[in-house]
Amino acid sequence: MMRRLTVGGFILVGLGIVIGSLTGLPGLGGRGNEGSHDPATQDSNPQPVDSQSQPQSIDKPAEESADVIDVLIGGQTYFFRPAGAEKYRPIELSELIRLAKQARGNHDGIRVRIARRKTSRASAEQQLEDELTKAGLPRNSLSWQKDLVD
């Protein structure tokens, strides 16, 4: 009787490992998040492997540079980085809203990529989000970078 329970237990554990590896369940021999395409689990700043073969950075492909606008909030001030430029320049909120409405969005539907400095004010962030929403941009078309910029 005891031998049957032991053999049965080993068979169940073995089946669990086999099924886990086939279905990708984490903890049962599966791959877990390996190969996941969830943006929340991916590095937000990937680096190019070879600058000779990849003249542009991975996080700003050419096909989306004109369709996604980059915004930086510092204190109560908004900054905009034109496509292909390295530096941000100050911009009025009304002009920023106009540019955001014109953006077509990338393949994920992102139209505005928003970064924040450590000095960023919550009121400026909320005002930007409110004005973009009021202008007709859905919240899922805004990408808030989780890491603060120096």
83 and 16 part of one domain: no
Average pLDDT, the chain: 75
Which pLDDT band holds residue 40 (cuts at 50, 70, 90)?
very low
16 and 70 part of one domain: no
> Could you report the per-residue pLDDT of 58-114, keeping only the tens digit for each?
344 433 335 899 999 999 999 999 888 889 999 999 999 999 999 989 999 999 999
pLDDT at residue 11, as a whole number = 78
126 and 76 part of one domain: yes
2 and 72 part of one domain: no
Q: Looking at the 3D structure of the chain, how many domains does it have?
A: 2
Q: Is there a domain that residue 24 lies in? A: yes
CA distances from 67 to 52, 90, 108 (A): 25, 20, 11
Instruction: Tell me which residue range forms the domain holding 8.
Output: 1-28
70 and 142 part of one domain: yes
Q: Rounded distance, CA 77 to CA 96, Å? A: 11
Output the pTM of the full model.
Answer: 0.56
The larger pLDDT score, comparing residue 27 to residue 97, is at 97
| β-pair partners for 56 | none
> Could you report the per-residue pLDDT of 76-91, keeping only the tens digit for each?
999 999 888 889 999 9
Q: Is there a domain that residue 38 lies in? A: no
87 and 22 part of one domain: no
- What's 121's domain CATH number? 3.30.420
